[in-house]
Structure 1
Amino acid sequence: MKTIGRRKFHWEHALQAKKILRVLENTYGKADPMNLRLADTYARDVFGDAVYSPWLRAYTAFNRKFKEGWIPDNFYGTVVVPSMKGWHGKISNLKTVSQLIFGSETFPDIAYFANGLFFSAHKVAIPQAHVEGFVFQNADRIVYKLDGSARGSGIYIFDRKTFDPEAIRSYGNGVIQTYIEQHRVFSEFTSNSVATLRFTTVVDDAGDISVRSCFLRLGRAEHTHVTAEDEVCVPVDLLKGELRREGYLDNWLAVDAHPDSGCSFEGVKIPAFWKCVATVLELHGKIPFARCVGWDLTVDVDENVKVMEWNAEHNDVKFSEATQGPCFSDLKWERLKASFA
C-alpha cells in the first residue's frame, strides 16, 4: 500500500472508530480513561504505531474494558491482509470464478456477465437473445451482483418484467444468482430482504481451518437487501448456534429486537447451523492460501445452505472483534508488523 494511500486509509478508519466511540459514550457514559490509556499503549507497544489506537478505543468503550489480543481493523487491512492473502485474496472480487474454484452447488449462481458476454455457470456462452429465457427457466426472481460489490452496494434485483440484459451490460461484470427464499426463522425478523450469516474462517500456521466468528446480518423493512448503512447485526454463539440477547445497529448501539418487526433475538436457533459451519470449512479448504475469509451465506426454506458471496481480501473484522473477540489472538498476527507495517 503506497504511503499516501496508507495515510488516507488510516485517517478514514480513525474517523469511523472515533464516531462510534462518540456515540457509545454519549449513550452509555464515558469510557474509563485508564482503559483507554491501555488501548493507546497497546497500539504503540504491540502494533508499533498510534494509528491503531482508534479501533482499540472503540472496542474498549463497547466492552467497558480493555482486552489484550484485539486486532485493530486498520492493522488487519494494512498488515494482515497483504501478508496472509496477497493477490490470492483479490480473487474473491471476481464473481465469475466462484464455481471454477469451488465447484459447489451451495452457490446460487445461474449465469455470469463478463467482458461483453453472458455465460452459464458452466462457462458456456449464452446469446443475448436467449439470456432472459435461460436465467428465468427455474427462477421467478434473480439477483445481479457486480464484481467487487460490498456493503450491500452493486446489487440489483429483477423479475421477468423488469429484467433487461442491456441494463446488466451497463452495470458491468458480475454474477446472476437465483433469488433465495429464506428460512422462516429469518423471515420473522424481516421478509423483504434475505438475511445473511457472516462466518469468518482462518487457516493457522499448521494448515488447520477453524471458524472464529459468526453474526447474523438483518436488513430493514424498506430495503430489498441488506445494506451496511442500516443493517442490524446479531452475534451468534458458536457453541450453541443461537443468537445472543442483543443485536447492534450500524453505530454499535444495542437493541434486543429487530427495530421494524419487533422480533426478539435471544435464544433464536440458527437453522442448519452445523451444516453452515461444515460448508464454510469445506470451502475454505479449497483456497487455504487465502488465510482468512469472510463468508456470507443463508439458509433457504428447505434448510439448504446457500453461499451468496465470499470475501478473501479485507473482510472487516472490527464488529467480530468488538462483540466476540479477541478472535485471532492465538495466531500472533501482531508479529507481522516488522515486515509489513
Structure 2
Amino acid sequence: MKEAHKLRIKNMIKISKSYPYNFMHKRIALNALKVIEKEKGKLSKGIMMQCDSYAKNTLGDIKYAPWLYVYSALQGKFKEGWMPDNYYGEAVKRDIDGSFSAPSECKPLSNRILKTNKLPDLLYVNNGLFIEPVNYKIIPASTAFDILFSKDDTVIFKSNNSSQGVGVRFYAKNEWNVEEIKSESGVFQKIIKQHEFFNNIFPHPGATIRITTTLDSNGKPTVRTAYVRLGRMNDNSLSKHVQCNSEVKVAINIDNGELYTTGYMPDWSSTELHPDTGVRFKGLTVPAFRDACIEVENLHSNYPFVQCIGWDVIINDNEKIEIMEWNAMHNDIKFSEAVQGPCFIDLVDRTTSK
C-alpha cells in the first residue's frame, strides 16, 4: 500500500509538470500553424483527423496533435512516423535520456566528455576561477588574459545553459574586467573565420550548421537531419551572430549537402532568399558537409548515453570542421520534422512499443 501511494504521488507530480509544458507547446504550435496556413491554405479536417488519431492511438495522447498539424500543413499531407516536439521532450529526453542529457549544458565539461580537438574553447570560468581547457588546471587572471587575447582582440563568451544565441556575448580586449568575469560561469571561445560560402550568403561571422545525430537500435549514431542557421542584420553590430528571435533556417539535404530552395523565419514564414542580402538558397551546396557528418557521428559515439544530440558546426576558412557546441538536453527537432521529416521513425517505434 505504501509503495502504491508513493507511485500515485509520483505520477501526480509528473502530470502537474507535464501540463504547463504541453500547454506551452500547444500555444507555440498553433501560432506557427496560423502563419503556415496564411501561405499554404487551411489544413483540411481530414488531415487533422489523421493527426488526432495518430496522436491518440500511436503516441498515446491528443496533446501531441498540435505539432502534427504544423508538420502536415507545411508538407501538405500527414505522414506516419512523425515525432511531435513535445512528445520528443517527454518520451525521449525525459523518460529515456533523463539526467544524462544535462552534462551538455555545462560548457566546460565538453572537452572532457567528447575528447576532441574540434572545440574552439580558449578558457573556462567557474566559481571565480579561470581554468585552461587542455589539462583543466586553474590559472591566474593575468595568464587568462594572455590566453584569451594573444591572437585576437575579441572573443566569444557562452554562459552555461546558453542556447540559440541567448547567453552569448562578445568580449573585447579593452573590456577585460577580472571581477566582472569571475562572476560568470561558462566558456570563452575564439571567433572562427567562417568559410567564404557562408560569407557570400551573409557577410558576418556565426553561421552554424545544426546536425542532429540519433542512435539506431544497435547504438550506432547516424545523421538524421541538418539545417543551416543564418544571422540577420541588426542595429547593434554585436548582435549579428545567430539568435533564435531573428535567424533564418534553411534545411540541408543530408545526402549531398545542398540547401533546400526555401528557408524559414522564426515565425515560420517562408523565404527563398536571405532577407538582408537577397542571396537565393537554390543551388547552393555546403562545403565539407560530409566530413562534418562523419565527425559528429564519431563524437556521438563518445557519449552514447543519449538518443539524440544536436551539434552546432562551423566550416572554417580552411574548410575544416569546428564544433561550437552540442545540445543533448532538448535540441530542436520540430523544424527538421516539419521540413524534412519524418526523420526519427525508428525512435518513434522504440518509444511506442514499450
TM range (shorter): over 0.9
- Alpha-carbon contact 1:62-1:322 (below 8 Å) kept: yes
TM-score, with structure 2 as normaliser: 0.92
Question: What corresponds to 2:36 in structure 1?
Answer: 24
Identical aligned pairs, as a percentage? Answer: 37
Give CA-to-partner distance per residue, 1:190-238, whole Å, 9 cap, x none: 2234100000001112122100000000010113311111110000011
Matched, 1:135 2:148: yes
Looking at structure 1, the residues matched to 161 and 339 of structure 2 have their Cα atoms a distance apart, in angstroms, of 26
Give CA-to-partner distance per residue, 1:162-216, whole Å, 9 cap, x none: 233333233x310000011111111112223410000000111212210000000
- Return the match for 1:147 from 136, 154, 160: 160
Code of the aligned partner of 1:140 = D
Question: What corresponds to 1:307 in structure 2?
Answer: 323
Code of the aligned partner of 1:154 = G
Matched, 1:336 2:339: no
- Return the match for 2:188 from 151, 176, 198: 176
Give CA-to-partner distance per residue, 1:131-161, whole Å, 9 cap, x none: 2222111333210001111121000111212
Give CA-to-partner distance per residue, 1:3-55, whole Å, 9 cap, x none: 22211100100010000001111232211221111111111111111110100
- In structure 1, the residue corresponding to 2:156 is in which secondary structure? strand
Question: What corresponds to 1:226 in structure 2?
Answer: 242
- Return the match for 1:241 from 257, 262, 279: 257
Question: What corresponds to 1:92 in structure 2?
Answer: 104
RMSD: 1.5
- In structure 2, the residue corresponding to 1:2 is in which secondary structure? helix
Looking at structure 2, the residues matched to 27 and 244 of structure 1 have their Cα atoms a distance apart, in angstroms, of 18
Matched, 1:115 2:127: yes
- In structure 2, the residue corresponding to 1:265 is in which secondary structure? coil
- Alpha-carbon contact 1:216-1:236 (below 8 Å) kept: yes
TM-score, with structure 1 as normaliser: 0.95
Looking at structure 2, the residues matched to 294 and 314 of structure 1 have their Cα atoms a distance apart, in angstroms, of 9
> Which runs of no fewer than 5 residues in structure 1 stay unpaired?
none
Looking at structure 2, the residues matched to 219 and 270 of structure 1 have their Cα atoms a distance apart, in angstroms, of 16
Question: What corresponds to 1:159 in structure 2?
Answer: 172
Question: What corresponds to 2:10 in structure 1?
Answer: none
Runs of 4+ in 1 over 4 A off after TM superposition: none
> Which runs of no fewer than 5 residues in structure 2 stay unpaired?
1-12
Q: 1:142 to 1:242 in 2, by over 3 A?
A: same
Question: What corresponds to 1:52 in structure 2?
Answer: 64
Question: What corresponds to 1:194 in structure 2?
Answer: 206
- Alpha-carbon contact 1:46-1:334 (below 8 Å) kept: no
Looking at structure 1, the residues matched to 245 and 118 of structure 2 have their Cα atoms a distance apart, in angstroms, of 27
Give CA-to-partner distance per residue, 1:254-276, whole Å, 9 cap, x none: 11110001111112111111110
**Which structure has the greater CA radius of gyration?**
2
Looking at structure 2, the residues matched to 153 and 113 of structure 1 have their Cα atoms a distance apart, in angstroms, of 18
Question: What corresponds to 1:265 in structure 2?
Answer: 281
Looking at structure 1, the residues matched to 27 and 176 of structure 2 have their Cα atoms a distance apart, in angstroms, of 39
